[in-house]
């Protein structure tokens, strides 16, 4: 079982180009697993973790409803945003500057074969990170992601989750709002959930800007502990 994860920080990168890159890595792992099974070999499968920040983009998951996008094509263009229907779970979400996006491409057979546990561990890595900033946050019943004041009229989402898995290999991941212009969320019904607000770490802390490199380091620290993994930078 290979618990080493190859870490790449892609910086600011177009959504479609990043999606294609994810697909290449994902396919490489799946193909190796198929080859191992077919040829009865035991070549170790690699694991990857991509950090990235996207220009303004809205993405709709395979179970999502296009009506949750409240902009026309022309309005999207006017806002400098793009839109993609993609192959993750979940509904619609926004990615943009000031948001830390993490795409773990893991062979879960290197860790544990439980998608529910995987999702909960992704949430837990973010929850533990936000606790280091003094925030009380957690989960909302029946809704993925990380929330503040869940179960109250003041519930607000700070981190969205959406993944795809095949043959125990994962792709897509989480999007944590750190220094985000929340106005872009007004153009959608986030995750298809009406009447729930969205927030960002800088807003919750009452500061203009949070150090994103520091947040990433904290996420990786908790991810390492939860998955009993080791990161190597590539």
* Contact by Cβ (8 Å): 111, 159: no
* Contact by Cβ (8 Å): 220, 7: yes
Sequence ranges of the binding site for substrate: 88-95, 160-162, 173-175
* Contact by Cβ (8 Å): 192, 94: no
C-alpha 121/C-alpha 127 separation (Å) is 10
Q: Among 5, 122, 191, 210, which one carries the catalytic annotation?
A: 191
Residue with tokens 């802390």: 205
- Write out the DSSP string of 94-112: EE-TTEEEEEEE-BGGGT-
C-alpha 215/C-alpha 222 separation (Å) is 11
- Listed residue (76, 73, 92, 118) closest to 226, CA to CA: 118
- Listed residue (159, 139, 137) closest to 148, CA to CA: 137
Sequence ranges of the binding site: 88-95, 160-162, 173-175
Catalytic residue list contains 191: yes
Residue 20 tokens read as: 């294609």
* Contact by Cβ (8 Å): 52, 103: yes
Catalytic residue set: 191
């Amino acid at each position: 079982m290979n618990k080493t994860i190859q870490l790449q920080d892609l910086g600011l990168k177009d959504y479609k180009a990043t999606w294609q890159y994810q697909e290449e890595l994902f396919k490489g792992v799946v193909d190796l697993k198929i080859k191992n099974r077919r040829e009865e070999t035991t070549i170790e499968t690699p694991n990857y973790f991509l950090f990235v920040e996207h220009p303004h983009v809205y993405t709709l998951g395979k179970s999502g409803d296009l009506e949750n996008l409240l902009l026309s094509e022309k309005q999207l263009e006017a806002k400098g945003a793009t839109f993609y229907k993609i192959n993750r779970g979940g509904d619609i979400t926004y990615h943009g500057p000031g948001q830390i996006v993490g795409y773990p491409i893991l062979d879960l057979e290197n860790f544990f074969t439980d998608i529910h546990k995987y999702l909960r561990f992704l949430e837990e890595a973010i929850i533990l990170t936000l606790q280091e900033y003094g925030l009380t946050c957690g989960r909302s019943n029946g809704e993925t992601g990380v929330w503040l004041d869940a179960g109250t009229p003041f519930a607000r989402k700070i981190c969205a989750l959406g993944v795809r898995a095949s043959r125990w290999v994962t792709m897509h991941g989480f999007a944590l709002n750190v220094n985000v212009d929340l106005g872009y969320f007004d153009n959608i019904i986030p995750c298809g959930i009406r009447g729930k607000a969205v927030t960002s770490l800088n807003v919750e802390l009452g500061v203009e800007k949070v150090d994103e490199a520091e947040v990433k380091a904290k996420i990786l620290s908790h991810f390492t502990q939860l998955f009993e993994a080791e990161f190597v930078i590539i």
